[in-house]
């Protein structure tokens, strides 16, 4: 029986997430599987990967073949590196301490890379919010200037009308006695 480590699709249309499963290669994509060893959600940034690396390593050691995407996921999580290091230990090229030191160095580097990406995304989001606030502030200042100009024009117009009404009131009493006569 040929055993594959592959993805099993779940979720709704245009919003898929995947289970990482060990299955017979003849079974359908979303059908029967032997064991579920993790999940993969590409909808988050960075993608969320939950993987039981010990079980994945055990399946790789007994001959399970990962699909292309699962191979990338296993590599990203360090399962393939661990398998490689265990092969070196079995051949006598490495000791367990050397293999653990290489593994820990790789893990620290990977964690630093992930945390820098998350920080970069957070900074980019903050910069985007600041830019949006600044743009909104500019728009509000422009609107306030327009309203101030309109209010000034209205005040001038009302002052002119009031001055015109005062002139008419002053002219009306002088003309009124002439009209009575």
- For residues 62-82, b (16+ Cβ closer than 10 Å) or e, as one string? eebebeeebeebbebbbbbbb
The mean pLDDT value for 158-179 works out to: 69
Q: Is the pTM of this model over 0.85?
A: no
Q: What is the pLDDT of residue 27?
A: 85
Residue 175 has pLDDT above 70, yes or no: no
Distance of CA 122 to the CA centre of its chain: 9
The sign of the CA dihedral 90, 94, 95, 101 is negative
Structure tokens at 30: 């979303």
pLDDT tens per residue, range 34-47: 999 999 999 988 88
pLDDT score for 180: 57
- Region 3-66: CATH code: 3.30.1320.10
Percent of all residues in the chain with a pLDDT value above 90, rounded to a whole number: 56
Residue-range domain boundaries for the chain: 3-66, 95-161
Task: Examine the pLDDT at 177 and tell me if it is beyond 70.
Answer: no
Q: Which helix (H) or strand (E) holds 67?
A: none
């Amino acid at each position: 029986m040929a055993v594959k480590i592959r993805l099993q699709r779940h979720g709704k249309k245009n919003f898929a997430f995947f289970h990482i499963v060990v299955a017979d290669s003849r079974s359908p994509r979303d059908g029967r599987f032997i064991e579920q060893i993790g999940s993969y959600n590409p909808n988050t940034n960075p993608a969320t990967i939950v993987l039981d690396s010990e079980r994945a390593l055990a399946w790789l050691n007994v001959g399970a073949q990962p699909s292309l995407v699962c191979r990338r996921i296993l590599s990203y999580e360090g399962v393939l590196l661990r398998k490689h290091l265990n092969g070196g230990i079995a051949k006598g090229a490495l000791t367990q301490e050397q293999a653990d030191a290489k593994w820990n160095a790789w893990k620290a580097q990977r964690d630093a890379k992930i945390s820098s990406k998350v920080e970069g995304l957070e900074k980019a989001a903050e910069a985007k919010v600041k830019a949006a606030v600044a743009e909104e502030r500019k728009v509000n200042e422009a609107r306030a200037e327009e309203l101030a100009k309109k209010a000034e024009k209205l005040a001038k117009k009302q002052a002119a009308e009031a001055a015109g009404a005062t002139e008419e009131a002053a002219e009306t009493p002088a003309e009124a006695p002439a009209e009575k006569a």
